[in-house]
Homo-oligomer: A and B are copies of this chain.
């Protein structure tokens, strides 16, 4: 059946969905109530129109600026730097961090031709400097005191973090990096060599 096959092949383009999962989903959709299938179709079709990027931090948002950037309860002295917009949602879900964000939109990768100019690094520097500019007009901004680099602990993530640290250090901002080590609930047996090495180097006094 063409209608069925076409849906299956579209679904397999989604991440983590193989042919078997796509078939199961399709069979489910065939039997599901109309309210559900209509709602799902409508939401998928309208998603991109409803969600755009915050003009300040670059994360996903329905209104601009995003609720974090315009949130009065957020700690404006700290900016957490992440690679992708969804990283903001992941960190927000952990409810651990109360500061602001800045999305780079990628990581430095000279081999792929991605230099600092391709990322939202200039706007990060501008945000930091503007906040610390005592001559600035308008309502007195809160000066940014700390940049938390939350790029992934990969070669590109580390390189990007180091680059940003070098640039912003001169401005007298404290630049920190998320801890790397064993995941909570992890098992030494399954930890890779590099993670283990980093865990040793980053060991803390109990």
Q: List 21 A-B contacts (CB under 8 A).
A: A1-B60, A1-B61, A3-B46, A3-B50, A3-B62, A4-B47, A4-B60, A7-B44, A13-B36, A15-B24, A16-B25, A17-B25, A23-B89, A29-B44, A29-B47, A30-B47, A30-B48, A30-B60, A37-B47, A38-B45, A41-B45
- Which of these, B7, B32, B39, B44, contacts A37 with CB under 8 Å? B44
State whether the Cβ of A6 lies closer than 8 Å to any Cβ in chain B. Answer: yes
**Chain B proximity of A101: nearest CB distance (Å):** 14
- Which of these, B4, B10, B30, B62, contacts A1 with CB under 8 Å? B62
Determine chain A's interface SS by DSSP, over half rule.
Answer: helix
Known contacts A1-B51, A3-B62, A37-B48; 13 additional CB pairs below 8 A are A1-B61, A1-B62, A3-B43, A3-B47, A4-B51, A6-B43, A7-B40, A10-B40, A14-B29, A30-B47, A30-B51, A41-B44, A41-B45
Residues in B with CB closer than 8 Å to A6 are 43
Query: Is there contact, CB below 8 Å, between A47 and B13?
Result: no
Stoichiometry, as copies per complex, reads 2
In the complex, A201 Cα to B190 Cα: how many Å? 43
The interface of chain A, by Cβ under 8 A from chain B, is 1-4, 6-7, 10-11, 13-17, 21, 23-30, 32, 34, 36-48, 50-51, 60-62, 85-86, 89
- Given A4-B51, A47-B30: A10 and B36 interface contact (C-beta under 8 Å): yes
